[in-house]
Amino acid sequence: SHELRTPLASIQGYTETLLDGALHDQEHNVRFLTIIQQNAARLGRLVADLMILSRAELKTQKFRFASYPVAHLLGDAIDTMRPVAEKKEIQLHLERPAAGAEVFCDSEATHQILANLLDNAIKYTREGGSVTVSYVAEPSAVRFLIRDTGIGIPQHELPRLFERFYRVDKARSRELGGTGLGLAIVKHLVRAQGGDVAVESEIGAGSTFSFTLPVHDLGLAETPRV
């Protein structure tokens, strides 16, 4: 509730200040409105992320499982994120191993997972860096890898990284528009589809986030829903 209250208190505070007379203060009114706008946007992102997480946790989310070519899933996600990468002058590469790999998953949920991991990789990599997406076949799954040349994460932070609202650097995450929920969403969506998540990182050198999705139907669509 603290995460929601902070932007809300800011919106209420600055709205009151404007109504109490600051509206006519030409030196400050635009700045106050900008703060209101930023906090409203932040609140919007938080609510959207909390909705995704709550649907995943309550198992009320309807997954539509089917077989999808890995190349299509990755192509869609990369097309979506390319403008974000270009804006920051980050090279976005797709390493294509043997063609023809398929996974049994929900395409929307997989898109969300890839978008969150690519968004983070771009966010936590400095201008001029690179982000590389690849995949490898495992016995009954495909492992997707998102590798960046970014700031890296200290080893002792890695075990808690996928917890809700856990951030290595709270101020930096906030400044970059983060909600602290992206990785918690990733973990839930991957697990719900029968996969697992992993991360390796080295400070100053970069991070590699990976997740698996099954190749065959694991019968997960049959799970009872609340």
Least distance in Å: CB of 210 to ligand ADP? Answer: 12
> Cβ 163 to ligand ADP, closest distance in Å?
8
| C-beta of 141 vs 184, nearer to ligand ADP | 184
Chain-centroid distance, C-alpha 224: 27
Q: SS3 sequence, 120-133?
A: HHHHCCCCCCEEEE
Q: Which is nearer to ligand ADP, 167 or 188 (CB)?
A: 167
- C-alpha–C-alpha distance, residues 31 and 24, integer Å: 12
- Identify the helix (H) or strand (E) that includes residue 56: helix 29-58
Question: What angle, 0 to 180 degrees and rounded to 10, lies between the N-to-C axes of helices 2-19 and 29-58?
Answer: 150
Shortest separation between residue 224's beta carbon and ligand ADP, angstroms: 28
- Judged by CB, which is closer to ligand ADP: 63, or 209? 209
Helix (H, G, I), strand (E, B) or coil at 146: strand
How far is Cα 122 from Cα 118, in angstroms, rounded to an integer? 6
61's CB contacts (< 8 A; 6+ apart) are 55, 109, 192
Q: Can you give the binding site for ligand ADP, defined by CB under 6 A?
A: 120-121, 124, 148, 150-151, 153, 161, 166-169, 173, 178-184, 207
Q: Which is nearer to ligand ADP, 183 or 213 (CB)?
A: 183
Q: In the complex, what is the shortest distance from the CB of residue 129 to ligand ADP, in angstroms, rounded to a whole number? A: 11
Give least dist CB 58 to ligand ADP, A. Answer: 20
Q: How far is CA 141 from CA 102, 134, 186, 190, in A?
A: 9, 14, 17, 12
Report in angstroms how near the CB of residue 207 gets to ligand ADP at its nearest: 4
Nearest to ligand ADP of 145, 168 (CB atom):
168
**Closest CB to ligand ADP among 13 and 180?**
180
